[in-house]
Structure 1
Amino acid sequence: MKRLPPLPALHTFLVTAQCCNFTRAAQQLHITQGAVSRQIAGLESHLGYPLFMRQARGLSLTQQGRELFPRIQQVFGLIEEAVQAASGQRQALQLKAPTCVMRWLWPRLMRWQAERPDIPVELTTTVQHGVDFRHESFEAAIIYGPEPAAGQKPRHLFDEQLTPVCAPALLAGPLPLSQPEDLAQHMLLHPTRDEEDWETWLAGAGVNLPNLSQGQHFETLDLAMSVATQGTGVAIGDWSLIAEDLAQQRLAMPFELKVRTGLAYYLVQPPRSTASEGTLAFIDWLARQASLR
């Protein structure tokens, strides 16, 4: 049987594959760039095939490297889990989520931590809507978009349903908000730099507004919702994400119409990975929370 490659070389490969840069890998490993290069070259010689393609702007994984990376990542994850379990330390579940889902996710994470303090969750937020498990070390991620490939073991959370929202006080103000055409008298708050969400809902309502481009544009949904609660305008939001704001009467829906965009939120896992019992318990619990809306 062929002798296995040395563990330090496999760890160097794992770190280098995550950043695809010898210099950054050396900084993370606290060794020289030359040492990283020699370990990778030695590992490639031992295996009999190249792991990286050297390019002018950095590195990229070869086909063999892409196939090896998730397996080595899983092995070191199991080693870390075993060491922490033996020492009595609690390993935090690494979760990635886009910032747009935080109004829904954060209260539920707090509830999970109260119910299951034995399985802490370490959350990483991002403005990106997806995840690349080949280069990102997360046990699970919430993504937004069309249905992902079956290889990511997707669990559907909820569909995006757009609807206008505003502060309850705005409904009782001097300017009416009884029909969609009345939006022409109010400032429109856009949760993104484009106007696509408002355009989608207005198309569903069969209304054209002259003031569509004259409102305020924000970088995130959360900012738009926060400004809407102050009564300065009408925002367009995802009903699924702001249900708690509506229940607590921080926001109100002037109209009943909710327009589905065809996009949704999914909870996904790395392909070809063996999830821990804690990860599976959290995924099942969060999926149940989504079904309780």
Structure 2
Amino acid sequence: MKRLPPLPALHTFVITAQCCNFTRAAEQLCITQGAVSRQIAGLEDQLGYLLFHRQARGLSLTEQGQALYPRIEQAFDLIGEAIEYASIRRTPLQIKAPTCMLRWLLPKLLQWKKLHPDMPVELTSSVQHGVDFRREAFDAAVVYSPQPGPRREGQHLFDEQLTPVCAPDLLEGSQAINSLKDLERHTLLHPSRDQQDWTHWLNAAGGDVSLIRQSQYFDTLDLAMTVAAQGNGVAIGDWALIGDDLKAGRLVMPFDLKIRTGGAYYMLCSPRNEPSPPLRELMAWLLKQAQEQAS
């Protein structure tokens, strides 16, 4: 393999080709005009052909110089991108998400870690459903928008769809849930202090909200689902968020009805900077996971 010219000389050639002037190239490279001229002359000697026509009013590329310039410029661009990409990959992506999202998001990020061990992600959870990128130093966030209306800025992951869930044992025996009336014999588990989710679903199902006698309230969806999986009541949750529990058989749906609330989950990037290549790749991958689950 023929020995390649030194990188500094090739870099000087690229800058000089962009300027077509030794003086301006020297200013950009922070060296003297003589040093630029010597590096170009040495490069031409090693290659065996001229790269520039020396003219009274400046420089112009020779035929060989014109053939060489775009390829060498592209090579330096690739080197720069590789260095930037390598430095980005060593810095974990900072992602924020509401606690209600963890049951869906955390297993996905663990899977991502196995697929991309060199693209670390750090997840921060919060009871808040939004993010303030002006005050919070996150690269991206999953947010919940409870109100129906135009789509928010960002990637739409999935719509909220509420449905009751319980342990498989509650579908059998004398306490089996076969109708709305059977819910009276069980503790209803609420993922928040208000009864909003159960009220939405019962109204849509034609149930009587006033018949709810036993209730237990939790601060997070995850706690409500954990208690439900242990057979200690019937919880209400977002079908998309608990999809893995349903597939694994830890939870079952005693009713087929899923109601859309108008709420939805989105993934937003910080507007401070352009998304890095790892962040773009992660967001595209999470979007694909959400689409596959919805299909």
- CA distance 1:86–1:268, change in 2 (3 Å): closer
Cα deviation, residue 131, structure 1: 0.3
- What does residue 5 of structure 1 align with? none
Amino acid at match of 2:117: P
C-alpha distance in 2 between matches for 1:136 and 1:214: 40
Residue 113 (structure 1) aligned with residue 86 (structure 2): no
- What does residue 189 of structure 2 align with? 189
- What does residue 273 of structure 1 align with? 273
Matches within 5 A, 1:90-239: 90-146=90-146, 153-212=153-212, 214-239=214-239
- CA distance 1:159–1:97, change in 2 (3 Å): same
- CA distance 1:148–1:95, change in 2 (3 Å): farther
Q: How large is the RMSD of aligned CA atoms in angstroms?
A: 2.6
C-alpha distance in 2 between matches for 1:148 and 1:210: 27
- CA distance 1:235–1:256, change in 2 (3 Å): same
CA deviations over 1:87-108 (Å, ceiling 9, x no partner): 7970100100011011111111
Percentage of identical aligned residues: 54
- What does residue 286 of structure 1 align with? 286
Cα deviation, residue 109, structure 1: 0.3
C-alpha distance in 2 between matches for 1:208 and 1:148: 25
- CA distance 1:172–1:151, change in 2 (3 Å): closer
Cα deviation, residue 283, structure 1: 0.7
Matches within 5 A, 1:3-14: none
Cα deviation, residue 176, structure 1: 3.2
Deviant stretches of 4+, over 3 Å: 82-89, 146-153
- What does residue 241 of structure 2 align with? 241
What TM-score does the superposition give when structure 1 sets the normalisation length?
A: 0.67
- CA distance 1:140–1:88, change in 2 (3 Å): closer
- What does residue 57 of structure 1 align with? none
CA deviations over 1:40-90 (Å, ceiling 9, x no partner): xxxxxxxxxxxxxxxxxxxxxxxxxxxxxxxxxxxxxxxxxx998677970
C-alpha distance in 1 between matches for 2:88 and 2:209: 61
| Partners of 1:151 and 1:271 within 8 A in 2 | no
What TM-score does the superposition give when structure 2 sets the normalisation length?
A: 0.67
Return 5+ residue gaps in structure 2 as ranges. Answer: 1-81
Amino acid at match of 2:119: I
- CA distance 1:150–1:235, change in 2 (3 Å): closer
Cα deviation, residue 173, structure 1: 3.0
| Partners of 1:152 and 1:269 within 8 A in 2 | no
- What does residue 35 of structure 2 align with? none
Amino acid at match of 2:233: G
Larger radius of gyration: 2
Helix, strand or coil at the partner of 1:203:
helix
C-alpha distance in 1 between matches for 2:201 and 2:138: 34
C-alpha distance in 1 between matches for 2:167 and 2:102: 20
| Partners of 2:89 and 2:278 within 8 A in 1 | no
C-alpha distance in 2 between matches for 1:283 and 1:260: 24
Cα deviation, residue 146, structure 1: 4.4
C-alpha distance in 1 between matches for 2:117 and 2:148: 31
Return 5+ residue gaps in structure 1 as ranges. Answer: 1-81
Paired residue total = 213
C-alpha distance in 2 between matches for 1:118 and 1:220: 32
